[in-house]
Amino acid sequence: MKMNSKDIKRYLGGMVFGLRLHRFFFRDKAVIAVFHRVNNDIAQNPITCDVELFREFCAFFKRYFNVISLSELLDRMESGKSISGCLVVTFDDGYLDNFENAAPILKEFDIPACFFIATDFIGTQRVPDWDKKWGVESEWMSWEHVKSLSNDGFEIGAHTKNHIDLGVVEGDEARDEIQESRLALERQLGKDIDLFSFPFGRESQFSESNRSLVKELRFRCAPSAYGGIVRSNADPFRMRRHPISPWHESVWQFGFELLQEG
């Protein structure tokens, strides 16, 4: 039987994790996974994870990693405490299916997570350009949903107001997008917000000046979303997250990709 690249990754990933050899790969290294949507409408949509596969990912994370919050990862890095084999779960944008589909499964597995919110989408029917392109519906959380996640112990982070490209937008507009996103969250939640992630998250979509701006505004981090792992000496404002999409047909395929990046 001829095997394609996904089959090979699935086979090798299953073998390495099954034999627990992955522990050697993740010495002084951690993983930050990033999801966007969790529902069963995955056709032609590269940012959606199937619900049952998401459940499999949660089981995989719990079995093979030390799953911690993003704040704990930052605490460990700042204090010099080991991050070996740690994994953090994050979500970007603020889609309703995060609340309806992902959060109950996270609770079932007792997995902490951070939800990065593009605040001007919350409680609206806005359809961003990428959803228009893929022909999918955009359903956003309400502020009550975001508050419920926060009250349940999940971390909430800023993601700009309008999900702008911070590789292009600079100066006062960038400052307003970043800071007002935080302030909206703080007003709604009654909590300090010190976590931030770059919208889009590709390397070309955040400039050095905006990275410095995020530091100036006293956020603790600004991770990307273009793949990679986190080493113990990583700059929190250059941390990489590994995106999960319909390309990933199994947890073992994802696991092998992490091994390649390590």
Output phi, psi for 127, to 5 deg: -115, 105
Say which DSSP state 251 is in. H
In one letter, which amino acid is 237?
F
**SS3 label, residue 144:** helix
Domain count, the chain: 1
Cβ atoms of 254 and 11 within 8 Å: the answer is no
Q: Residues 249, 163, 166, CA angle at the centre, nearest 5°? A: 105
Burial 201-238 (b: 16+ CB within 10 A, else e): beeebbbeebbebbbeeebbbbbbbbbbbbebebebbe
pLDDT in tens, 16-49: 676 566 776 789 999 999 999 999 986 667 889 9
Q: Are strands 230-231 and 155-158 parallel, antiparallel or unpaired?
A: unpaired
What are 99-157's pLDDT values in tens digits?
999 999 999 999 999 999 999 999 999 999 999 998 888 999 999 999 999 999 999 99
Question: How far is Cα 231 from Cα 233, in angstroms, rounded to an integer?
Answer: 5
Average pLDDT on 243-260 reads: 81
- Tell me, yes or no, whether 1 lies in a domain: no
Query: Could you give the count of Cα atoms lying within 13 Å of 1 in the half-sphere of its Cβ?
Result: 4
Confidence of residue 248 (pLDDT cuts 50, 70, 90): confident
6 falls within a domain: no
Helix extents (H) in the chain: 5-18, 22-25, 51-64, 70-79, 96-97, 103-108, 129-134, 143-151, 171-189, 208-216, 251-261
pLDDT at residue 12, as a whole number? 66
First to last CA, the chain: 30
Asked if 252 contacts 14 with a C-beta cutoff of 8 angstroms, the reply is yes
Asked whether residue 12 is domain-assigned, the answer is no
Whether residue 218 has pLDDT greater than 80 = yes
Residue 209: domain span: 22-261
Give pLDDT, residue 260: 75
Residue 5 in any domain: the answer is no
Q: Is residue 11, in this structure, part of any structural domain at all?
A: no
Alpha helices in 109-222 (DSSP H): 129-134, 143-151, 171-189, 208-216
pLDDT of residue 190: 98
9 in any annotated domain: no
- CATH of residue 249's domain is 3.20.20.370
